[in-house]
Chain A
Amino acid sequence: MHRTLILQKDHLLPLLRKLRKDNRVIAPVRNRFGDTFFTEIEDFDNAAIDLDQQPQTSLKSFFLPQSETLCRYVTGKHPESGALEYSFHAQVPVRTPTVYFGVRSCDLFAVMYTDLVFRRARERDIYYDRRRSDAVFISIGCARPFADCFCNATRSGPFLDMGFDLQLTDLGDRWFVQIGRPRGVRLIEEWPAFFTLASEADRKAQFQVELEARGLFRRHVHVDLAVKLLQEQPDHAAVFAELSRRCQDCGGCAYICPTCICFNIADLRLDEDGGERVRTWDACTFAGFTRMTGDCNPVDGETGRVRKRFLHKLLHDVQKHGRPSCVGCGRCVNMCFGGVDIIRCIEMLAAEGENGSGGRW
């Protein structure tokens, strides 16, 4: 089996339509208000697949929904002792084979990171795992980074070597197709008529696109330097004090971040006899996230909370997994109310390292 193929652009939609027969197909779709989300496509004739803008959200909500019912619980009395008893009835998601099309490298890389947390051998999250094992990824290497992208600095793009089932590269009139995981192989085997073998010239053209893409980044973010500075000395009190002065505690950065996976679990009583256990997105920048019974808060004060989030991304995950967990998608950059984003943090750390002075805006 050759690892590189060609898919004519005209044949992309027909291929997706075929895949739709046995799968959910999820792709970035621009709605009539101009916003682009990953959306399930039901009607291919009336969906505007948008590969020109960065989708506003990552794939996170498909694997870890913003809110989901984990189980229902029923309370009762033990027949003999009369003690209060709970019985739980898990609501595991139904199997739905799903093709994720048009996924960018950063978002796919983020899924690989969340796998590290939710699919560890002994602590598998059944909800995440079920959805994840039903997923096929057709990713797109970024020939043209978006305005705030810096995945080159986090080494999570613009093209990937692994993780995808198929990775497409735009060669003008045709897609260059690289095959990754076994499901990609199976997909090609099932629909061989759509693909032709790539020529040496195609491979050269793809290499050229990849090379050029690396030169097109507009933001030059010194992620490695920031990691090094934090490893030397994780305090940087002035930088984090300045950043936290502007944090408005909305949690937006964590919600939008493809690798932020903090969640909260709460029991919602529905009636006398029981209720639901619901998991919702949470954010480590909220005071309540770390507050314990009796009002003790190990991460107290806004500076501590903002610092904790950035240290998690840039230091703790390096210590634990060998690399920062920021994937350089740039989504948190333009959305923060106070401009407290990871690029600003890295720049302020770098500036402090350079001239030794405290972080200034």
Chain B
Amino acid sequence: MHDVLTVCCYCGCGCGLYLRVEGGRVVGAMPSRSHPVSRNNLCAKGWQSFAFIHHPDRLTRPLVRKKGRLHPVGWDEALDAAAQGLRRVREAHGPDRIGVLASAKCTNEENYLLQKFARAALGTNNIDHCARL
């Protein structure tokens, strides 16, 4: 078993927590004692923050809608389908008819890339996230 220091995925407090890893699976979560926010404790959600990681409901393959139903496909097919669909809307209606929703649960790097994607790749400022919700 080894412990990996990371940050809790739940509220905006940003507790430092260790994920306890055994055999490629996360089996526990522990607060960091020296961390300025967590100071050796987590809330009930934080202590359980590892519980959903290996849940059987996790999506493990990309899905593409064919004839009204979502079917598992490979990454290339899914990415091509997504690119094609977005390109079609952009060509037909212009970039400002595409919207992008970023996430307050993703990293800074991902949010930065997504707004870059919206602005530079798609050509629209229609990017927002649920800060207000």
Report the stretch among B40-48, B87-95, B110-118 that lies at the interface: B40-48
Q: Which residues of B contact A256 (CB under 8 A)?
A: 40-41
Do B56 and A269 touch across chains, with their CB atoms under 8 A apart? yes
Question: What 1/0 flags go to B12-24 for Cβ under 8 Å of A?
Answer: 0000101010100
Write out the residue numbers on chain B whose beta carbons fall within 8 Å of the beta carbon of A275.
56
Chain A residues lying within 8 Å of B16, measured Cβ to Cβ, are: 33
Complex Cα spacing A256 to B3, Å: 16
Q: Supply 7 A–B pairs (Cβ within 8 Å), ascending by A.
A: A33-B34, A35-B33, A39-B2, A40-B1, A65-B22, A65-B28, A334-B40
A270 nearest in chain B by CB position? B56
Q: Are A252 and B30 CB-contacts (below 8 A) given A31-B3, A67-B50, A271-B56? A: no
Query: Would you call B82 an interface residue if the criterion is a C-beta within 8 Å of the partner chain's C-beta atoms?
Result: no
Kindly state whether residue A57 has any CB partner on chain B within 8 Å.
yes
Measuring CB to CB, which residues of chain B are less than 8 angstroms from any residue of chain A?
1-3, 5, 16, 18, 20, 22, 27-35, 39-44, 46-47, 50-51, 55-56
Q: Return B77 CB to nearest CB of chain A, in Å.
A: 24
B37 CB, min distance to chain A CBs, angstroms:
12
Q: Contact at B29–A248, with CB atoms within 8 Å?
A: no
**A126 lies within 8 A of chain B by Cβ:** no
Given A37-B3, A250-B43, A268 and B34 contact (CB-CB distance below 8 Å): no
Known: A61-B28, A68-B27, A271-B56. A250 touches B44 (CB 8 A): yes
A208 at the interface (CB under 8 A from B): no
Per the 8 Å Cβ criterion, residues 326-354 of A in contact with B are 334-337
CB distance from B59 to the nearest CB of A (A): 15
| Most chain B beta-carbon neighbours within 10 Å: one of A249, A280, A336 | A280
Smallest CB separation, A250 vs chain B (Å): 5
Residues of A in contact, count (CB < 8 Å):
33
Q: Pick the contact of B42: A56, A250, A280, A286 (CB < 8 A).
A: A250
Q: A56, B41: Cβ atoms under 8 Å?
A: no
A209 to B40, CA, bound (A): 31
Residue from A67, A269, A335 whose CB has the most chain B CB atoms within 10 Å: A67
Cβ < 8 Å to B, chain A residues 54-71: 56-57, 61, 65-68
A335 touches B39 (CB 8 A): yes
A82 CB–B CB distance under 8 Å: no
B20: chain A residues at CB < 8 Å are 61, 66
A250–B17 CA distance with the chains assembled, in angstroms: 15
Taking a contact as CB atoms under 8 Å apart, the answer to whether A33 and B47 are in contact is no
| Closest-CB distance, A315 to chain B (whole angstroms) | 26
Q: State the Cβ distance, B48 to closest chain A Cβ, in Å.
A: 8
Q: A35 to B47, Cβ gap below 8 A? A: no
Residues of A with Cβ closer than 8 Å to B? Answer: 31, 33-37, 39-40, 56-57, 61, 65-68, 248-252, 255-256, 268-271, 275, 280, 286, 334-337
Alpha-carbon distance A5/B20, docked complex (angstroms) = 37
| A66, A251, A268, A337: the one within 8 Å of B56 (CB) | A268
Bound CA span A248–B47, Å: 13
**A251 and B34 contacting across the interface, CB-CB below 8 Å:** no
Which residues of B have CB within 8 Å of A56? Answer: 30, 33, 40
A335 touches B2 (CB 8 A): no
Closest to B54 in A: A268
User: In the complex, what's the smallest C-beta–C-beta distance from A38 to chain B, in angstroms?
Assistant: 10
Determine how close the nearest CB of chain A comes to the CB of B6; give it in whole angstroms.
11
Complex CA–CA separation, A35 to B5 (angstroms): 10
Q: Which A residues lie within 8 Å of B5 (CB)?
A: 31, 33, 35
> 4 extra interchain contacts, Cβ-Cβ under 8 A, other than A66-B20, A249-B44?
A34-B34, A68-B27, A250-B41, A252-B41
The answer to whether B27 touches A57, judged by C-beta atoms less than 8 angstroms apart, is no
Given the complex of chains A and B, what is the CA–CA distance between A94 and B30 in angstroms? Answer: 25
Q: A61 to chain B: which residues have CB within 8 Å?
A: 20, 28
Task: Give the docked Cα–Cα distance between A249 and B51 (Å).
Answer: 18
Q: Which residue of B lies closest to A253 (CB)?
A: B41
CB proximity of B42 to chain A, nearest CB, Å: 7
Q: Identify which of A33, A34, A335 contacts B41 (C-beta below 8 A).
A: A335
Q: Give complex CA distance A252, B46 in Å.
A: 10
Instruction: For residue B3, give the distance in angstroms from its CB to the closest CB of chain A.
Output: 6
Checking A66, A335, A336, A337 against B28 with a beta-carbon cut-off of 8 angstroms, the contacting residue is A66
Q: Which residues of B contact A336 (CB under 8 A)?
A: 41
